[in-house]
Amino acid sequence: MTLRIGIGYDLHRLDAEGTFLVLGGVRIPHDRGFVAHSDGDVLVHAIIDAMLGAAGLGNIGQRFPDTDPNLKGADSLVLLERTKRLVQSADFSVVNIDSVIIAEEPKLTPHVDAMRQRLAEVLGIERGRISIKPKTNETVGAEGRGEAVSAQAVVLLEER
């Protein structure tokens, strides 16, 4: 059995002009939204980067560039589905995902189960294989000042 590990990271600024805040495919009530070319879902973007990295398939910027007008406002779960197919075509499948979302506000713990469920549905894996840990940044840095939200993810792939 061949196992491969990938790591992903993403950060997007928050702005009152942002239309909505979405994390893990779930819309989160908040007075600001992401400034991004797509929907800005930093959790999904970090997972995509980790999956692509583990499979040796490049990164999210190569596969889904922010210069592509067709991706303007794109639903990140659609990009995750496309990434899953790329990874499967390379003969890998997702074993598990461990992730962290760093945001001072809003409080994310009440939304974790919904995020895990949405990701599990798209990836076709059990919800128990997905870990999402919300953290604050203790008022330090862009996340701590409420200017941005970031996410980190580690993905384990198994060769099929």
**How far is CA 56 from each of CA 23, 133, 158, rounded to the nearest angstrom?**
25, 26, 13
Class of the CATH-defined domain 3-159: alpha beta
- The pLDDT assigned to 19 comes to 64
Nearest to 40 by CA among 17, 56, 57: 17
What is the per-residue DSSP string for 9-26?
EEEEEEETT---EEETTE
Give the Cα separation of 2 and 119 in Å (integer). Answer: 24
Token pair, residue 51, equals 């999956």
**How far is CA 153 from each of CA 14, 71, 132, rounded to the nearest angstrom?**
20, 22, 9
Q: What is the pLDDT of residues 82-119, one digit of tens each?
A: 999 999 999 999 999 999 999 999 999 999 999 999 99
- The pLDDT assigned to 123 comes to 98
Q: Which residues of the chain have pLDDT under 50?
A: none
- At residue 100, φ and ψ (nearest 5 deg) are -130, 135
- The contacts of residue 48 (CB under 8 Å, 6+ apart) are 8, 60, 63, 64, 76, 79, 80, 83
Containing 55, the helix (H) or strand (E) segment is helix 42-55
